Amino acid sequence: MLRLGLTGGIGAGKSEVSRLLTGYGAVLIDSDRIAREVVEPGTPGLAAVVAEFGPEVLTADGRLDRPGLGAIVFADQDRLRALNAIVHPLVRARSAELESEAGPDAIVVHDVPLLVENGMAGLFDLVVVVDASPETQLDRLVRQRGMAQSEARDRMAAQATREERRAVADVVIDNDGPLERLEPRVREVWKELTERAAADR
């Protein structure tokens, strides 16, 4: 099994890269999706978040109010750390469970937005960083996701810097350009990964 950590700043295009890799045959373990699952209504995760942040982080139907919670934690590093201390262990446990279900010859891609921030680079055989300039990230967040510039800048500031991400990368996928330039580069990376996995076997 070849275990990859895939990361990149918000708006860099990491989701598109993970979609392409899955299309080529990778097994995807998506930390963001798991992070949503572990705080679904009725889970111990949601109960712990409510105990920490109060019932005002719930919607009327008892679900987590993500935008409301996001507004709290992205403006306050201490509150963000408190949230991470609840969610991250739950995500790690579920990720390990999913990985154990992948075959021994699988190329497993762990899509981890906060890989660098949480010092997780050493947990993987390789770290792949999807890279885009801060200007490109900001433009995508405002244009494609409809964020206000101030919110987009806050989200970007709460993450590792471009330089910090590149420092832990074994492979960098540049995604400053249009989508059609991304696919050939990801295909090239996939070829390298399959060759490495075969050599390891």
DSSP-derived secondary structure letter, 160: P
pLDDT in tens, 131-142: 999 999 999 999
pLDDT at 31: 87
pLDDT in tens, 99-139: 999 988 999 999 998 899 889 999 999 999 999 999 999 99
Q: Per-residue confidence at 158, pLDDT binned at 50, 70, 90?
A: confident
| Mean pLDDT (the chain, rounded) | 93
pLDDT at 201: 74
Q: Residue 131 CB: number of other CB atoms within 10 A?
A: 21
pLDDT at 173: 97
Q: Residue 4 pLDDT more than 80?
A: yes
The pairs formed by 174-178 with CB atoms below 8 angstroms and a separation of 24 or more are: 174/131, 174/132, 175/8, 175/12, 175/13, 175/16, 175/17, 175/130, 175/131, 175/132, 175/136, 176/131, 176/132, 176/133, 176/136
pLDDT in tens, 38-52: 999 999 999 999 999
Percent of the chain with pLDDT over 90: 83
Phi, psi for residue 135 in degrees, rounded to 5: -65, -40
3-state secondary structure of 58: strand
DSSP-derived secondary structure letter, 43: S
What is the C-alpha to C-alpha distance for residues 73 and 79, in angstroms, rounded to an integer? 5
What is the C-alpha to C-alpha distance for residues 80 and 130, in angstroms, rounded to an integer? 23
Q: Are 69 and 49 in contact (CB under 8 A)?
A: yes
Q: Which residue has the higher pLDDT, 4 or 180?
A: 4
Cβ burial, residue 116 (10 Å; 0-12/13-18/19+): buried
Q: Per-residue confidence at 5, pLDDT binned at 50, 70, 90?
A: very high
Delineate the domains of the chain, giving CATH numbers in brackets.
1-26+106-201 (3.40.50.300), 30-104 (3.40.50.300)
Q: Per-residue confidence at 189, pLDDT binned at 50, 70, 90?
A: very high
Q: Are 64 and 98 in contact (CB under 8 A)?
A: no
What is the C-alpha to C-alpha distance for residues 129 and 143, in angstroms, rounded to an integer? 23
